[in-house]
Amino acid sequence: MRNFLNKFQKKGIIEIPNLVGKNPKVSICLLTYQHKDYIVECLRGILMQKTNFLYEILLGEDDSTDGTRDICIEYAEKYPDKIRLFLHHRENNIEINGNPTGRFNVIYNYYSARGKYIAICEGDDYWTDPLKLQKQVDFLENNKDYVLSFHDVNVLYTRKKRVKNYRMIGSLDKNSLETNDLLKPWFIPTCSVVFRKPEKFSLPKWFYLSPNGDKALWLLLFLAGKFKYLNGIMGVYRMIDNWISVSFKGYFIVFSMIHIF
């Protein structure tokens, strides 16, 4: 964390006072920017989770101008025992290939996580199964050779306001994955992931500027253990209608990075 902040932080992050316990089992990394119309649905999907363990919500708000920040502050004040709200500044934004990104936000969340496991959800996606976290954590607790679990999600196309009621991954058993599977376009939906945090969680410096942070993280974790596909639709991924071209672009970007490993 220290090296990361020394390199990229130009203005200190504000953490809203909270009552979150020091030893949650799961840290939910939620980053949001310009999600005024979506963030409430996302937070409700997380807060409805029924678990026999404690979890924390690391809510990273990236200095939105559309009212998202006000909503996040409202929820942080309403649920101080669940939410750790980090108010970020655009001065710290990391540009990749000349484009602004949420990379500083997400890495700050990862390094701030106190949980044994990390779950991921972005502010325009949401969870639909109240037992999602419990199911995934139960599996990882009972199978130490697995480091990550994921599941199917429905896809909500925002422009046409319609949901594709099919499984993006399909019904195949994904107990045994290979590197080529991880490189397929959008093979693992980001909002479906729960992974075991390494004991010494330190991201390599190249990760800070990698063009596709999700696939880079999957590849890093894949070096540490197996991935488990859990059958069932437990979330919704919000997608613009040109997602195929975007996904294939990400595929080729990460394919070009594979020499790093």
Look at 183 and 89; give whichever has higher pLDDT.
Answer: 89
Mean pLDDT of 207-228: 92
Of 21-25, 89-93, 240-244, the one with minimum mean pLDDT is 240-244
| Per-residue DSSP letter, 85 | E
What is residue 231's predicted lDDT score, i.e. its pLDDT?
87
pLDDT in tens, 51-69: 999 999 999 999 999 999 9
User: Residue 147's closest CA among 157, 161, 137, 158?
Assistant: 137
CA 111 distance to own-chain centroid: 13
pLDDT of 210 over the 70 cut: yes
Q: What is the pLDDT of residue 249?
A: 37
Q: Whole-angstrom Cα distance, residue 4 to residue 230? A: 34
- Using pLDDT thresholds of 50, 70 and 90, give the confidence band for residue 251: very low
pLDDT class for 194, splitting at 50, 70, 90?
very high
What percent of the chain lies above the pLDDT cut of 70? 81
* CA nearest to 26, candidates 196, 227, 226: 196
Q: Is the pLDDT of residue 43 over 60?
A: yes
pLDDT of 257 strictly over 50: no
Distance of CA 153 to the CA centre of its chain: 14
Superfamily of domain 2-260: Spore Coat Polysaccharide Biosynthesis Protein SpsA; Chain A (3.90.550.10)
Tell me if the pTM is above 0.85: yes
- The residue type found at 75 is Y
Residue 175: its pLDDT value, please?
54
Q: Residue ranges of the alpha helices (H) in 63-168? A: 68-78, 103-112, 132-142
pLDDT-derived band at 200 (thresholds 50, 70, 90) equals confident
Please give the pLDDT value at position 203.
Answer: 94
Q: What is each CA distance from 32 to 105, 123, 125, in whole angstroms?
A: 9, 5, 10
CB distance 43 to 11 below 8 Å: no
pLDDT tens across 111-142, in order?
Answer: 999 999 999 999 999 999 999 999 999 999 99
- For residue 99, what is the enclosing H or E element? strand 99-100
Please report, for the chain, the start and end positions of each structural domain, with discontinuous segments joined by +. Answer: 2-260
